[in-house]
Amino acid sequence: MSGRPLYVAFVWNQHQPSYRDGDTGGLIMPWVRLHGSKDYFQMAAILEGYPQIRQTFNLTPSLLEQLGDYGAGAEDTYQKADRPAELLSDREKRFLLHHYFDIHWERVIRRHSRYRELLELQGCTREPAKVNSAVERYRPQDYRDLQVWFNLSWIDPEICGADPLLKGLLEKGRGYTEAERRLVRERQDDLLGGIIPLHRRLQEEGQIEIMTTPYYHPIIPLLIDSCSALRACPGLPLPRRFQYPQDACEQLQAAAEQYRKLFGLRPKGAWPPEMAVSPETVALLATYRFDWSISDEQILSRSLNAEIIRDGYGHVLNGDLLYRPYRVRGAGGEIAMIFRDHHLSNRIGFEYQHFRPEDAAADLVHRLLKIRENLSWAPENHLVTLSLDGENAWEWYQGDKGPFLHSLYRRLSEEPLLCCCTVSEYLAANPPQRCIDHLFTGSWVDHNLTRWIGTENKNSLWEHLLDAREAVERCRQNGSCRTEKIKEALHYIFVAEGSDFPWWIDSMPYHLAAPFEALFRKHLVAVYRSVGLSVPEGLTRPLIRPRPGDSPAADQYSGGPISMVPTNPARE
């Protein structure tokens, strides 16, 4: 390898599912707004201080669409309770006491004396029924301070520190005014409005590459043929066969059209949701002229029928296998693919939160240099791919993402033996030299598809989805509905095909899964109403039940993927 650098590709997946209520049209969860003001803007903005660091971002269409909704004046459920404290109803007060502590308690809330005081006054409970007694303990000023602290905490700490007004609010700590409450919301709006322009500018300047994904983030192999799940797990109990490759085509086409509108280019990279791939997925991506895609090292290992060997420290000993692109052929198409280092990506997502930020950065750079050392014999360039979601890990870090990423980017900028690049930049200079003719069907989760299908409740979702899809197809074929109504129904089908619905069911605590199950049913109800059909009785009641010890979900539409769930893997 002589003096050549090791190339490093950071690929950040920025995703939120569609939170639009299929009945009312409102946004029922706040995570686009909150992660937008805390993570999505700053993840790109921080790079401006390190021009040598080039990276790749996947901005999912469902996320981008909702950023547009906020820009057009949409409000989510959490915002509806963010109004003058003296005018709050009892229901709104209970909502604030239940949900305005939805951020990491130890890393965030307990670091600020007033926010901690408000949590203790609430009773330090996450049970909705237990907040009722706190309603009378809170005075209007307490509610107003809670409103300010919640939204302020969901703005990146570095942004707050650089903004004199926000910094002043942090230092003030309590006794906020109505004008100050509105100021925080205005700052959030400004950050959301800046996300797309910032990414477009950085791409035009060549510092980042933006990729896309099928519009509403479906598991493409399962849309093409749900029985493909049997390839990794023979004998897996499955629902009736779902086989609508045309839906996958529509979702890819819509994503490409949105990308051209927002960024003025043809997208080169396609992120398969949850890194779930199959030979048929390769052919589909090739059909829509994508140049490259990405999956996990476990998929590579099984595709090549070769183990990725690591020593006791996690260093890969046969890195020539993993750290290179491949030309992947499948079902009549082919595309370039890279495969992420599963171990290093998960160190960022799960392990480094336990390190001092400077130590975590030093560890990662050391490991990258060790990879280069182990490849010193090779005459070719190599690419290490580090890929994970760009939001969920940071609340667990000391000081959020800033201390770690600044230390990491400084070290990488000063290290001549490591070169951070975009994926397309690397592929242009280093096209794949090896081929994969038999791509394994699976995802980043245990190299299979069981996170989304195969349990009783997950299969129930697929059965209801198939019933609705078949109903729309019958209406289309018999001509009983106008074209625009068929199109409207298919829109709700595409939303309901999103991976986030089965992801939560049977895999996460009931109180986190229930909002997604309720939203899923809302979308399917909208399908039937769009084509003028009666709504099946099964969609009028929850498809999942509380487990022993769980309280039924009274407020079905306001929970979701909050940071306090330590067992939740960072979404990949």
One digit per residue, the tens of pLDDT, for the chain of length 572 reads 568 999 999 999 999 999 999 888 899 999 999 999 999 999 999 999 999 999 999 999 999 999 999 999 999 999 999 999 999 999 999 999 999 999 999 999 999 999 999 999 999 998 888 899 999 999 999 999 999 999 999 999 999 999 999 999 999 999 999 999 999 999 999 999 999 999 999 999 999 999 999 999 999 999 999 999 999 999 999 999 999 999 999 999 999 999 999 999 999 999 999 999 999 999 999 999 999 999 999 999 999 999 999 999 999 999 999 999 999 999 999 999 999 999 999 999 999 999 999 999 999 999 999 999 999 999 999 999 999 999 999 999 999 999 999 999 999 999 999 999 999 999 999 999 999 999 999 999 999 999 999 999 999 999 999 999 999 999 999 999 999 999 999 999 999 999 999 999 999 999 889 999 999 999 999 999 999 999 999 999 999 988 776 766 654 444 444 433 333 334 44
What is the per-residue pLDDT for 553? 63
Token pair for residue 442? 């699976």
Cα 269 to Cα 211: distance, rounded to the nearest angstrom? 5
Q: How far is CA 256 from CA 40, 210, 334, in A?
A: 21, 12, 18
User: What CA–CA distance (Å, rounded) separates 506 from 453?
Assistant: 10
Q: What one-character DSSP code corresponds to residue 58?
A: E
Q: CB-hemisphere CA count at 13 Å for 117?
A: 12
Nearest to 422 by CA among 242, 300, 267, 259: 267
Please, what is the end-to-end C-alpha distance for the chain in angstroms? Answer: 31
The Cα 547–Cα 34 span in angstroms is: 30
> What angle (nearest 5°) sits at the alpha carbon of residue 408, between those of residues 406 and 413?
95
Can you state the angle between helices 245-263 and 279-287, rounded to 10 degrees?
A: 40
Under a CB-based contact definition with an 8 Å cutoff, are residues 439 and 303 in contact?
yes
Q: Is the CATH number 1.20.1430.10 carried by domain 456-540?
A: yes
Kind and range of the H or E run holding 218: none
pLDDT of residue 152: 98
User: What is the DSSP track for 337-387?
Assistant: EEEE-HHHHHIIIIIGGGS-HHHHHHHHHHHHHHHHHHTTT-SS--EEEEE
In 3D space, the residue among 529, 403, 437, 490 whose CA is nearest the CA of residue 107 turns out to be 403
Cβ pair 407, 358 in contact under 8 A: yes
Nearest to 153 by CA among 64, 78, 77, 84: 78
pLDDT for 3: 82
| CA neighbours closer than 13 Å in the CB half-sphere of residue 379 | 1
For 33-67, letters b (16+ CB in 10 Å) and e give bbbbbbbbbbbbbbbeebeebbbbbbbbbbbbbbb
Coil, strand or helix at 207: coil
Tell me the three state secondary structure of residue 6: strand
pLDDT value at residue 492: 98
Q: What is the pLDDT of residue 396?
A: 95
List CB contacts of 50: < 8 A, sequence separation 6 or more.
Answer: 409, 410, 412, 413
Domain ranges of the chain: 71-195, 456-540
Q: How far is CA 366 from CA 344, 379, 385, 401, 440, in A?
A: 12, 22, 15, 20, 32
389 three-class SS: strand
- Which of 5, 4, 10, 51 is closest to 422 using CA atoms? 10
Question: Which pLDDT belongs to residue 43?
Answer: 98
What Å distances lie between residue 128 and 29, 98, 99, 489, 516, CA to CA? 16, 6, 9, 35, 18
pTM for the full predicted model: 0.95
Unique residue bearing structure tokens 């009722």? 132
Instruction: State residue 512's pLDDT score.
Output: 87
**DSSP codes, 175-200:** ---HHHHHHHHHHHHHHHHHHHHHHH
